[in-house]
Chains A and B, each alone.
Chain A
Amino acid sequence: MPHRTRRFAGHVQQAVFIGPAVLFFCLIVVVPFFMSLYYSFTDWNGVTSQVVWNGVDNFRRIFMQDDDFRTSLWFTTRYTVVTVVLANVIGFALALLLTQPLKSRNVLRTIFFLPNVIAGLLLGFIWSFIFVKGFAAVGEVTGIGFFQLPWLGTESTAFWGIVIVSIWQNAGYLMVIYISALINMPRELLEAARIDGANRWQMLRSMIIPLIMPAFTVCLFLTISWSFKMFDLNLSLTGGGPFGSTESVALNIYKEAFQNNRYGLGTAKALIFFVIVAAVTTMQVLYTKRKEVEA
């Protein structure tokens, strides 16, 4: 084959193999991303085609006047911290339990994972029934105060309501990742430590946790980004209430754009949201990666 035709064939091959992926990626992710950089500085309302550049007005408004956005940011931060810690602790504990030679191990793994396959939107509706009717019924029968709280009615109980559902939904997924990390630990190392007389706590702290650090990197990354981006569950469980106290940033952005028709302002919020999520997850990955050790 002459040189030039071969090069041409190479270009065609490159276009055929990579073209479609790049095309859809650009159209759906890259273009909207750059548009959001522009629209953040405009008064775009989503309806009229006239879009006026208004500088940093949106950002000034968000930081100076928008109490709802600040509330939602504070809520999302608290929710993320609490959920990330609890979901990982519970997921990891379940993994430790279910790598023991229990007889019902496989069934139990299935059960703990099950909530994760259900859409967040449906989970929110399911739990709104449990909090409103189910807990009340249990409270009536048993008289236990915990079940008689107005779960979705007050700010603090609604917060914990969302946390409970999130943990119920995600702990099983994290458990699966931790289990596969635990199973793949080099057995000789653990055996050696045991022979050297390490007790269970020492084994966990100085052997198991450092060895499965890569699993922690992944699980923390997943839970942090899930928690920041929570939307479906929020919408169907509390809708942001009571009094906007459980409105996540994602829900706040959604309402600003699609209910208040302030697309420019919503886009500016979305840009701030992107910066926060990207910064936090990148820092987390860099930090935990440094802690990973070679076995």
Chain B
Amino acid sequence: MEHSPRYTARLFVMEALTVLLALLFLVPFYFVLVNSVKSFGDIMSNAAGWPSQYRFDNFSKVWDIMHYPRALVNSLLITVLSNVGLVVISSMAAYQMVRRPTRTNKVLFFLFVAAMVIPFQSIMIPLVRVVSEAGLMDSQHGLIFCYFGFGVSLNLFLYHGFIMSIPREIEESAVVDGCAPYGVFWRIVFPLLRPMTITVILLNSLWIWNDFLLPSLVLHSPEIRTIPLQVYAFFGQYTKQWDMALAGLVLGVTPMVVFFLLMQKHIIEGISAGAVKG
């Protein structure tokens, strides 16, 4: 299907229709962008058209009200640290489960995978209790620990499938050379896992960066809010003040869109790879 070189009339019609559909997909972005630089009156009288006057100060106002840099750093911190932890604990566990397939490890692997059908909302209520009993309420590391727990199933599963495809001989030669198991893993196996590590990190990042419900249950203080939490709080204050609200939305959406455009090749490959295994 991919290799017919002739560009026929039929293809041209298809292309035209698909482009039209793509433009339709982009319309919401147009509305948000164009209205985020209008005055409130301008939005009310003419939401579809070009701004009669550019109001870039919408952005500077919202930047301050939302404490945007602070929210950005919070989101980054939580996403990065959760990823580091998840990669470490799930790659190690998956390695051990593949190389030492004892009965315990097989049962554990099954439990990790089976838990993927549990919806978050089914356990969020007792989870709140666990987190507060552990003294981790309203703290960023409490939230990060939660991401360890919720992310480890899928991460471990993806690593497990990948490690099975790595030939054992590579490690065995290192063992003969006198390398301890920890050294074998970190110096020899882990670098080989790179493609899967990239996939895992990208999938985790899309999820953690955009997550709302879990952080809303764990984080309460304004100083530690992530971007989705901050946008939600901001919307509560500025309901129907669309000039402010839309500028806030643009600020909220931008980091992820930029990240996607930079990383899109890896993200799209990662989703295909994750789906084949998942």
- Residues on A lying within 8 angstroms of B by beta carbon are 10, 13-14, 16-18, 20-22, 24-25, 27-33, 35-36, 39, 46, 94, 97-104, 107-115, 117-122, 125-127, 129-130, 133-134, 136-138, 140-141, 168, 173, 176-177, 179-180, 182-183, 190, 214-215, 218-219, 222, 225, 228-229, 231-232, 235-236, 249-250, 253-254, 257-258, 263, 266-267, 270-271, 273-274, 277-278, 281-282
Contacts and interface: CB of A to CB of B under 8 A. Distances in A.
B132 to A, nearest CB: 10
B117 A21 contact: no
Contacts of B89: 20-21, 24
Contacts of B73: none
Contacts of B134: 27
Contact of B152 (A14, A24, A33, A183): A24
Given A29-B150, A32-B123, A130-B28, A182 B231 contact: no
B180 to A, nearest CB: 9
B93 A16 contact: no
Contacts of B111: 30
B272 A17 contact: no
Given A29-B123, A114-B257, A134 B152 contact: no
Given A100-B1, A104-B15, A177 B272 contact: yes
Contacts of B127: 28, 32
Nearest to A28: B149
A182 B3 CA distance: 13
Given A14-B96, A104-B19, A119-B209, 12 more contacts: A21-B89, A28-B130, A28-B150, A32-B124, A117-B206, A118-B256, A133-B31, A177-B275, A179-B272, A180-B276, A225-B117, A236-B235
A159 to B, nearest CB: 19
Given A27-B149, A99-B2, A117 B257 contact: yes
B249 A13 contact: no
A288 B3 CA distance: 30
A31 B130 contact: yes
A250 B264 CA distance: 31
6 contacts: A20-B92, A29-B123, A126-B253, A134-B31, A168-B28, A273-B121
Contacts of A33: 115, 118, 122-123, 126
B242 to A, nearest CB: 6
Interface of B: 1-5, 7, 11, 14-15, 17-19, 21-22, 25-29, 31-32, 35, 43-44, 46-49, 88-90, 92-93, 95-97, 100, 105, 108, 111-112, 115, 117-130, 134, 145-146, 148-150, 152-153, 156, 181-182, 185, 206, 209-213, 217, 227-228, 231-232, 235, 242, 245-246, 249, 252-253, 256-257, 259-261, 264, 267-268, 271-272, 275-276, 278
A141 B4 contact: no
A274 B120 CA distance: 9
A122 B228 contact: yes
A229 B121 contact: yes
A94 B25 CA distance: 12
Contacts of B17: 97
A241 to B, nearest CB: 14
A218 B228 contact: no
Contact of B130 (A35, A104, A180, A182): A35
Please list the 10 inter-chain residue pairs (A to B) with the smallest Cβ-Cβ separation, ordered nearest first: A28-B149, A119-B210, A180-B272, A35-B126, A17-B96, A21-B93, A274-B122, A137-B47, A137-B48, A32-B126
B15 A125 contact: no
B25 A115 contact: yes
Nearest to A266: B125
Contacts of B272: 176-177, 179-180
B232 A129 contact: no
Contact of B11 (A100, A109, A177, A277): A100
Given A29-B115, A141-B48, A117 B259 contact: yes
A268 B74 CA distance: 34
A242 B17 CA distance: 36
B228 A13 contact: no
Contacts of B3: 101
A29 B214 CA distance: 13
Contact of B118 (A35, A235, A254, A278): A278
A258 to B, nearest CB: 8
B28 A126 contact: yes
Contacts of A273: 119, 121-122
Contacts of A218: 275-276, 278
A229 B242 contact: no
Contacts of B256: 117-119
